[in-house]
Amino acid sequence: MRDLTILMVASGALIFAVVAALFVVAIRSKRDAIGHRGGMRLVLWAGAVIPTIVLAALLIGTLPAMRPIVAGQDALLVDVAGEQFWWRVGYRTPNGQPIAAANEVRVPVGRTVDFRLSAADVIHSFWIPGLAGKVDMIPGRTNRLVARATRAGRYRGQCAEFCGLSHALMAFDVVAMEPVAFDRWLADQARPAAAPTDAVARRGRALFTDNGCGGCHAVAGTAAAGRIGPDFSHIAARTSLGAGIMPMNEANLIRFIRNAPAVKPGARMPAYTHLAPADTLAIARYLETLQ
């Protein structure tokens, strides 16, 4: 990104200098200094032949980079659906078991990923500037995006189609991991989180049930199986909260649970401002055990 910016500024400056120099020459030269034939030759060379050669060379040089990646047999399938205002993510284990996740996509470095993109409500757009171009997510159809991360690390993603009040708060992270670490992570995701042992977290689990959170959020291995909001089976293993808008930590969990509509205007989660602070804390503690 930095190299590209420097290159663009430098070439912009170069073009400016050339044009300015031509202006000076034009102003200072005498009328009819090169005559009609000379003028025509200049236009032919500087206006047609040289630009054709330069543009053809650039085209040939960049064609390999434009070749689309094909998704082969070993490509990793990842389903992503745009929701208001979060991302429903689905993987499959090597033996076909589906795994539900949300708001964070993990991919193995070097392996082709075949994203299947859809939308639940309105049109969203899936965009990871550091990895691949934008692809619209359209209700009722499935679009494909094939991408491959060549370096481990974190890539920022963002919804790129205005989809409602909190459109700008609909981001996500793509985490590219070494293949071995990815396989281990995927196997972990396929198992439900361990039941909480800490007393506060256990009270939080009861409050989670009593307040109907499970009607919208699912926790694998428990009775909570809601599908309206993000899946919580491994929520604490994610690095961000609220679709990439804030770091995952206890304070932000409490903030979100207390008043989701204030944090994300238009979000389809009611406020829980009536809960006692100790109860909100207990629920947050429970969610933190879902690794």
Asked whether position 228 contacts ligand HEC by CB under 6 A, the answer is: yes
Q: Which is nearer to Cu ion, 137 or 219 (CB)?
A: 137
Asked whether position 235 contacts ligand HEC by CB under 6 A, the answer is: yes
Q: Which is nearer to Cu ion, 9 or 168 (CB)?
A: 168
Binding residue for ligand HEC (CB under 6 A) from 256, 281, 289, 290?
Answer: 256
Binding residue for Cu ion (CB under 5 A) from 99, 160, 163, 176?
Answer: 163
Q: What gap in Å lies between CA 279 and CA 282, rounded to an integer?
A: 5
The region of 8-16, 48-56, 112-120, 209-217 touching ligand HEC under the rule CB under 6 A is 209-217
Asked whether position 234 contacts ligand HEC by CB under 6 A, the answer is: no
- Out of ligand HEC, Cu ion, none, which partner does residue 102 contact, by CB within 5 to 8 A per kind? ligand HEC
Binding residue for ligand HEC (CB under 6 A) from 82, 108, 196, 230?
Answer: 230
Q: Which is nearer to ligand HEC, 211 or 249 (CB)?
A: 211
- Out of Cu ion, ligand HEC, none, which partner does residue 213 contact, by CB within 5 to 8 A per kind? ligand HEC
Binding residue for ligand HEC (CB under 6 A) from 205, 264, 285, 290?
Answer: 264
What is the sign, positive or negative, of the torsion defined by CA atoms of 55, 43, 45, 11? negative
Q: Which is nearer to Cu ion, 165 or 181 (CB)?
A: 165
Tokens at 187, concatenated: 């196997």
| Distance from chain centroid for Cα 12 | 30
102 beta partners: 88
| Distance from chain centroid for Cα 129 | 8
Under 8 Å between Cβ of 127 and 134: yes
Asked whether position 110 contacts ligand HEC by CB under 6 A, the answer is: no
Nearest approach, Cβ of 243 to ligand HEC (angstroms)? 5
Q: Which is nearer to Cu ion, 196 or 242 (CB)?
A: 242
- Report which DSSP code applies to 70: P
Measured in residues, the chain has a length of 291
- Report which DSSP code applies to 81: E
Percent of the chain that is helix, strand, coil (3-state, to 5) = 40, 25, 35
Instruction: Compute the CA torsion angle 101, 106, 111, 116 (nearest 10 deg).
Output: 40
71 beta partners: none
Asked whether position 212 contacts ligand HEC by CB under 6 A, the answer is: yes
Binding residue for ligand HEC (CB under 6 A) from 81, 85, 105, 145?
Answer: 85
Determine phi and psi for 112, rounding to 5 degrees.
-70, 135
End-to-end CA distance of the chain: 34
Which position has the token pair 């206890």? 250
List residues binding ligand HEC (CB under 6 A): 85-86, 102-103, 166, 208, 211-213, 215-217, 228-230, 235, 241-243, 253, 256-257, 260, 264, 267-270, 272, 283, 287
